[in-house]
Structure 1
Amino acid sequence: MLEVAARTETPKTAAEVAALVAEANAAGRSLEIVGGGTKRAVGAGVSADAVVSLAALDKVIDYAPEELVLTAQPGVPLAALETLVASHGQVLPFEPPHLTRLLGSKGRPTLGGALAANLSGPRRLRAGAARDHFLGLAAVTGRGEIVKAGGRVVKNVTGYDLPKLVAGSWGTLAVMTEVTIKVLPAARTEITLLLFGLTDPRAGEALTVALNAPVDVSGAAHLPQAVAARPPLKGEMAVTAIRLEGFAASVAARADHLAATLRSFGRIEALDAALSRDFWAQVREVEAFARVKRSSVWRVSLPPAAGWRLTETVAGEAFYDWGGGLVWLLSEAAPTEVHAAAHALGGHATLFRGEGPATALLDPALAALSARVKAAFDPRGVLNPGRMGLGQ
């Protein structure tokens, strides 16, 4: 028997979104919420009665470069937004990854998708996560109610921080129809210092020294030899990288200070601004694993001091971002094994590409809290049921 594909609705206004959700809530039907659709394969996926695409909600509503604030609809493509803010000498500070090659996606990653997944790039260790730059939103709850929270200013009144709650919820709590984010001035230049041939623990020591030095590091990553040898880098040795950004004179002085501080770790080379940007784009987009299709790819968040220990208990290849706090793991290990290893090290793992449960079950206290939050926003489970193990 042929399976009938769920119909797709493409609302053009917040009122139309609210009407679709209210109708589904009243009828006891479920909805899959998508933006560009580039991350639909992450996790177990959603089995819903209909799909609501936010692709038509793709307008920039207000952009005040002098106030470092931008308001847009969630379907705005990330690439278009990055081009817009770059034309004003600014950046999205959380450096969101697109991950289209890693996930084999053909759509266009959107601002709403980046916020819903709370995805942040290498600059997270200095600038903070996506949720830290999420100032306000308008959204539709699972009841079909339109809610607003936060605003278009960097500082806001005390109260429930709904943007931070919605960030990382993968569309299981509410459907965003408008978001306000903070942007920042782009760095005038950047330099990346490279160390070579370090073991994972030794690289961890070097990155700890760099992060504790008074040089304002904005990127700290380690690619072991097996990972560095993969395209596009095709290196001959393990590579440990530290990025510095800012005004040219400041960057040069800080690079000299850091090079002297790290001298005991071996030979140091520097990448100029253009090569540095290329290198960190490869790290952000997990390019080393994008061409390897046989194994699962995991995104593992750990205390930085523990990141280097993951492959001691889980077979596979790994590389490290955020000074060791983010581990990208390529492995054929069973999902239960990866989840257990991450939990034992004080973190958690998310399956980004492959078969199996995307996330581990929460402990009873957190599961109960999650259920209460879900019940408050979407009591009948209309929105993205089962997404990433959330919204059951």
Structure 2
Amino acid sequence: MTEVISPATPEQLREAISWALGSKNPLEIIGSGSKKTYGHSVAADHVLDLSKLSGIMFYEPEELVISVRAGTSLAEIHALLSDKNQQFHFEPGNFPGLLADGVTDHAGTIGGLVASNLSGPRRIKVGAARDHLLGFEAISGRAEDFKSGGRVMKNVTGFDLSKLMAGSFGTLGVMHTITMKVMPRDEKTRTVLIACDDIESAGHAMTCAMGSENEVSAAAWIAREQVGMLGVDIATGIGAGIVGLRVEGPAPSVAWRCEALRKLLADIGTSEELHSTNSHAFWRSVADVAPFAGGAGILWRVSAAPASGGAIASKLAAETGGKVMMDWAGAQIWLQLAGRDAMADKVRDIARLHNAQAVLVRAPEDIRNQMSVFHAEDAALARINARIRENFDPAGILNPGRIGHRLTKRGDA
């Protein structure tokens, strides 16, 4: 039977990890548990539940900074920021909604968001979650306190621990306090929709738009059969696959740039515009990957150079028979497969051909346990990561197996 440990303070968290280290009991670390099925199953009989480590430490809207406990819900943070017309600029979607049915909006915790380094459509312009992490406080697998950063973004020499912790899936340390940069919402938002059924043409259109002077803050392509799932009637009414291009800023500038984009891409297809309300709804659905939400089907995410996104997505669709969607101007490709065949070799061969990386986001547990969920590291990088893990968590008690098998050390076995 799994035993749950629920610390309510950083001191109790340190004591829990110290106990696990001394007794050699591995820990599965969760916030709300909304992403338990992302990655490999954790080999642990004890769960370290951070949901009681919650609350706002401080929020200074004028300074564009917020500090919270790691177990604070994203719904609470979203409501607080919205009240001041602010946001996380990296625009995280409702990722847990890709893993299960019936998930509420803004599910999960800030700790899980940062530990997974999740980002939405604006990532192509402002960076990922890790680029907005100002600082953190954590307990390592040695049961030692460590921290990095503070209230402001600084250019400093030395090892940037914030970048290291974001995306580490709790395998290096357990964060209990997180400080993030926030940003005001833009005065005006519009989205240009271009009718386009051809995947490679869509990729070319997004590349042209991003290379123009029009400061596009998001670019995505949705296939004809998935457009209706976005919940935006104007988009559905186009009756084709669509390239969506978002521009934000002062109203006169936004209007001028939208017109320029429509002229630039007139040869691709007919165009429409979404104004603020519909534009926000459109990109919320793109961030949530609404066409592929829920627990059904196998879901891959392929990360690539934006300029090659169209070619990769086209090849994936043709050779797997799956459904594809592109975000980040083609740098992020979603592939949904029906049935239980993950087609891992085929998907990864196509990705490898274009120097891309493929991650298995959603699949039944038995399928996830048969293969590497995350992109395989080359030998040199694997050695570096193993040394980092051994420095932070030498006994391997934090989320063992979550992102891959630990390398066997000399003398083991």
Residues 69 and 154, structure 1, Cα contact 8 Å, conserved in 2: no
**Offset at 1:308?**
2.0
1:37 to 21, 33, 37: 33
1:301 to 297, 300, 303: 303
Residue identity matched to 2:258? A
Mapped partners of 1:131, 1:167: distance in 2? 5
Residue 320 (structure 1) aligned with residue 326 (structure 2): yes
CA offsets, 1:45-97, max 9 Å, x none? 21212001111111110111111111111111112111211222211011111
Mapped partners of 1:66, 1:15: distance in 2? 31
Mapped partners of 2:231, 2:43: distance in 1? 36
Q: Which residue of 2 aligns with 1:239?
A: 242
Residues 54 and 68, structure 2, Cα contact 8 Å, conserved in 1: yes
**Offset at 1:212?**
1.1
Which deviates more, 71-80 or 253-262? 253-262
Residue identity matched to 1:353? R
**Offset at 1:277?**
0.9
Q: Which residue of 1 aligns with 2:42?
A: 46
Q: Which residue of 2 aligns with 1:282?
A: 285
**Offset at 1:98?**
1.7
**Offset at 1:100?**
3.1
Q: Which residue of 1 aligns with 2:411?
A: none
The runs of at least 4 aligned residues of structure 1 exceeding 6 Å deviation read none
1:353 to 351, 358, 362: 362
Q: Which residue of 2 aligns with 1:204?
A: 203
Could you tell me the TM-score, scaled by structure 2's length?
Answer: 0.89
Residue 23 (structure 1) aligned with residue 32 (structure 2): no
With over 3 angstroms needed to count, the CA separation of the structure-2 counterparts of 1:206 and 1:43, relative to structure 1, is: same
Mapped partners of 1:390, 1:232: distance in 2? 41
Mapped partners of 2:191, 2:132: distance in 1? 25
1:329 to 302, 324, 335: 335
Identity %: 38
Mapped partners of 1:249, 1:260: distance in 2? 17
Mapped partners of 2:357, 2:191: distance in 1? 29
**Offset at 1:156?**
5.0
Mapped partners of 1:390, 1:77: distance in 2? 30
**Offset at 1:276?**
0.8
Mapped partners of 2:73, 2:274: distance in 1? 30
**Offset at 1:360?**
3.3
**Offset at 1:387?**
0.5
Residue identity matched to 1:258? L
CA offsets, 1:190-229, max 9 Å, x none? 1000011341111111111111111111110011223335
The residue correspondences of 1:65-214 to structure 2 (distance < 5 A) are 65-104=61-100, 106=103, 108-155=107-154, 157-214=156-213
Residue identity matched to 2:9? T
Q: Which residue of 2 aligns with 1:385?
A: 400
With over 3 angstroms needed to count, the CA separation of the structure-2 counterparts of 1:77 and 1:35, relative to structure 1, is: same
**Offset at 1:343?**
2.4
**Offset at 1:273?**
0.8
Residue 339 (structure 1) aligned with residue 339 (structure 2): no
C-alpha root-mean-square deviation of aligned residues, in Å? 1.8
**Offset at 1:317?**
1.2
Residue identity matched to 2:301? R
Mapped partners of 1:89, 1:230: distance in 2? 27
Residue identity matched to 2:76? A
Mapped partners of 1:291, 1:378: distance in 2? 34
For structure 1, the 5+ residue unaligned runs are none
State the secondary structure of the residue aligned to 1:329. Answer: strand
**Offset at 1:38?**
0.6
2:269 to 263, 266, 269: 266
Residues 222 and 319, structure 1, Cα contact 8 Å, conserved in 2: yes
Mapped partners of 1:389, 1:346: distance in 2? 21
Q: Which residue of 2 aligns with 1:368?
A: 383
**Offset at 1:152?**
1.1
Residues 69 and 181, structure 1, Cα contact 8 Å, conserved in 2: yes
Mapped partners of 2:230, 2:179: distance in 1? 37
With over 3 angstroms needed to count, the CA separation of the structure-2 counterparts of 1:351 and 1:146, relative to structure 1, is: same
